[in-house]
Amino acid sequence: MLNRREAFAGLALSFGLASDGIVGQAWAAPAPISWTPKTLTPEQARTVDAVAEMIVPATDTPGARAVGVPQFIDRAVGTWCDAGQAKLLRSGLDQLDVDARAAHGAAFADLAPAQQTALLTRYDTGGDPQRPFFSLLKELTTIGYFTSKTGATVTLRYDPVPGDYRGCVPLKEIGRAWATS
């Protein structure tokens, strides 16, 4: 189910309306996250919940939050990442809140979408020290999303048992990329 923030983010992107002023006025406090982290702190989990949805937002198909990507990342930090990666993710999430408070006086999850976008754009493009963190988080979010059941079967096309191989098929007949290769 879309909450207000997602609905607004969708609109902002559709109409190019995003600006601090308008977003700020329309903004209401986000709901607390609906899951209990196993590895991350509650604050880190709330941040990851917000960032993942910024990386893969709900559009005409569900976004990262709806398919459980934040939980996927929480699990990956606990069971998959090596010590260096886990530290990079934890400290990066903490730093994200530090940067959010410094710039806008609130935790990242509580910022307006345009403010969140601006901060993540800084991480994504410049020589910001948070770039390696954002890169790893983006990787895990992307994997978590497109390997989720919804990501693979709704956003993409997935066929566990294709049967035949057809080498030359018009793309429009398939519509979207195959989830697995």
Partner 1 sequence: MANLNTKWRRENTYDAIVVGSGMTGGWAAKELTEKGLKTLVLERGPMVRHIEDYPTATTDPWDAKYPLGRLPPQEVKSHYPVQNRTGYALTEYTKHFFVRDDEEPYTEAKSFDWIRGYHVGGRSLLWSRQCYRHSPIDFEANAREGVGIDWPIRYDDLAPWYDYVERFIGVSGKKEGLPQLPDGVFQPPMQMNCVEEAFKAKSEARYPDRRITIGRAAHLTAPTEEQLALGRGKCQNRNMCMRGCPFGAYFSSNSATLVAAERTGNLKIRPSSIVTSLIYDEKKSRAEGVRVLDAETGEESEFYADVVFLCASTLNSTWVMLNSTSKRFPNGFGNDSDQLGRNIMDHHLGVGAQADAPGFEDMYYSGRRPNGIYVPRFRNLGDAASARKDYIRGFGYQGGAARPNWSRSLTGGGFGAERKAALTQPGPWMIRLGGFGEILPYTDNRATLNHAVKDKHGLPTLTLDVSIRGNERAMRKDMQAAAAEMLDAAGFKNVAPYDFGYSPGNGIHEMGAARMGRDPKTSVLNAHNQVHECANVYVTDGSAMASASCVNPSLTYMALTARAVDHAVSERRKGNL
Contact positions vs partner 1 (CB under 8 A): 10, 13, 54-57, 59, 61, 72, 76, 79-82, 85, 117, 120-121, 124, 135-136, 138-140, 142-144, 146-149, 152, 155-156, 158-174, 176-181
Which residues on neighbouring strands pair with residue 89, listed in sequence order?
A: none
* Min separation Cβ 172 and partner 1, Å: 7
Closest CB 135 distance from partner 1, rounded Å: 5
What count of Cα atoms within 13 Å lies in the side-chain half-sphere of residue 101?
8
* Secondary structure (3-state) at 178: strand
Given the complex with partner 1, which of 1 and 168 has the nearer CB atom? 168
Whole-number minimum distance, CB 155 to partner 1, in Å? 6
Q: Are 80 and 55 in contact (CB under 8 A)?
A: no
Select 41 or 180, whichever has its Cβ closest to partner 1. 180
Distance CA 43, CA 53 (A): 16
Length of the chain: 181
